[in-house]
Structure 1
Amino acid sequence: MSQKTVLETQNKRILIVDDHPFIIEGYKNAITRYKPEEFEFEIVQAKDCESAYKIITNSRAPFDIAFLDISMPAFEEMNLYSGADVAKLILQKMPNCKVVLLTMFTELLKIKTFIREINPLGLIIKNDLTFDELLLAFNKVINNELYYSESVLKILERSQNITIELDQFDREILFHLSKGTPLGDFAEYIPISTAAINRRLQDLKQIFDIKSGLDADLVQAAKSKGFI
């Protein structure tokens, strides 16, 4: 007499951190529709760095996957200023958790910093995000496969064709210049002296062959080559 095999569902704990409730609902709708015959999901949500901190540090069990928006209200008391900081906390507390970062940032410096410092299994530019895109990303990540959205891949591809070599401080200078940060405030964000920043700025104008000497022309040249 044959016996029918009953497959047991796998339980997965998912953390979603985003300060937009309707986006969280979109994530939940996509996740709960993913292979319901194989998986059962426990979804926990947080709206900012503070609520995420409390959930992570008081969790009864580790999360399997975490979806984190980069831009969200900070929790200064614990030095959590973004989803990137929350990701570092998760990886410290739950090193096997698969992290997916979602961001509106499209600057090469930011994208490379996220990859270098966090090495997320998923990295998605929010403008790429659709229901189908989210399902595709979730399928890749739950199977332990790397997933970068189309815009991320294009940004990284552009950077491979660049022969100019810049270090982290140069890239930070270009980034803050592009954001309109007053030059006198650069030293608050970049751990070198104002004099060193000014020297590097002049060197950057020579590297990018900015004959006008204008900061705006440097920003435009750096953008055209994918540095910002």
Structure 2
Amino acid sequence: MKQQYRILLVDDHLITLEAYRGVLELMSQEFIFTEAQSIDEALEKAERQPQLLPFDMAFVDIHLPRSESKKIESGEGLALELKKKFTELKIVIPTQYNQPERIRYIIDKVNPDALLLKEEFRSAQICRAVEIVLSGGTYYSSKVELLLRKDHLQFDDYDLKILSCIARGVKIKDIENHVPLSSRAIEDRKSMLMIKLGVPPRNNEQLIAIAREKGLI
């Protein structure tokens, strides 16, 4: 009898979910699939999953819209919530982001078991990633490895939240209502972000434009 694995597939595009399922069904293992197209739906289905039958693996798209409660802003946050509920869960992250800074942030934030760029997707690569992860290893695709070698900047969760607030039009003096830092600390971080991204002082528009280019928001 084939060994069974329970897999949660999370992506806001139905055709992507169908593609994952189609590829994985060709493998020698037997998979039981649960699908979700949003953060809220994934959390709801995770909550309903019996503790005695935990998910073994989750494919989590990073570029997901914020949850309706706005408590989780992206796929990174969802991956962390899933790991809390299923402590042995293996996380596979397919992402369209191909900026070194964003790739480094995903790894530092989530520490996924596999990370692949959607632009280089092949059936064989997905199967290889799953096989390595199920055997206890970690898989980074070749382009991810290349991007990591190019990365020389570091951004943490506070940096991304500050950028997100500025992009949404939140005034600097009000950002402390969204980020647990003092106004002075937020100002200092914003100044450092401008230095890191090569933006002239007080040019919020350019700061956000470059942050978007780099996939930071």
Match of 1:92 in 2: 84
Partner SS state of residue 131, structure 2: helix
CA distance in structure 2 between the partners assigned to 1:75 and 1:206 by the alignment: 31
Instruction: Identify the residue that residue 108 of structure 1 maps to in structure 2.
Output: 100
Deviation of the 1:148 alpha carbon: 0.9
Matched, 1:48 2:41: no
Q: Secondary structure at the match of 2:80?
A: helix
Map 1:197-208 → 2, pairs under 5 A: none
Q: Secondary structure at the match of 1:112?
A: helix
Query: 2:48 pairs with 49, 58, 68, which one?
Result: 58
Give the distance between the partners of 2:139 and 2:97, measured in 1 at CA: 17
Residue in structure 2 matched with residue 4 of structure 1 by the alignment: none
| Identity fraction in percent | 25
Structure 2, unaligned stretches of length 5 or more? none
Shift of 1:194: 5.9
Q: Paired residue for 1:70?
A: 62
Shift of 1:180: 7.0
2:131 to 126, 139, 163: 139
Residues 40-60 of structure 1 deviation map (CA, whole Å, 9 limit, x = unaligned): 211111111111011100102
Distance 1:77 1:171 in 2: 21
Structure 1: gaps (5+ residues): 1-7
Contact (CA 8 Å) 1:172, 1:190: kept in 2 or not? no
Q: Structure 1 stretch 127-136 or stretch 13-22: which is displaced more?
A: 127-136
Q: Equivalent residue of 1:95, what SS?
A: coil
Instruction: Report the TM-score when normalising by structure 2.
Output: 0.74
CA deviations 1:114-170 (Å, max 9, x no partner) are 2222211011121121222212212211222111122211111123xx5x8x67489
Instruction: Give distance in 1, aligned partners of 2:66 and 2:147.
Output: 27
Q: Greater shift after overlay, 81-90 or 182-191?
A: 182-191
1:15 and 1:63 in contact (8 A); partners too: yes
Number of residue pairs the alignment of both structures matches: 210
The letter of the residue matching 1:19 is D
- Report if aligned partners of 2:9, 2:35 keep a CA contact under 8 Å in 1: yes
Moved over 6 A (4+): 173-176, 179-183, 203-210, 212-219
Cα RMSD after superposing both structures: 3.7
TM-fit CA distance, 1:73: 3.1
Question: What is the letter of the counterpart of residue 9 of structure 1?
Answer: K
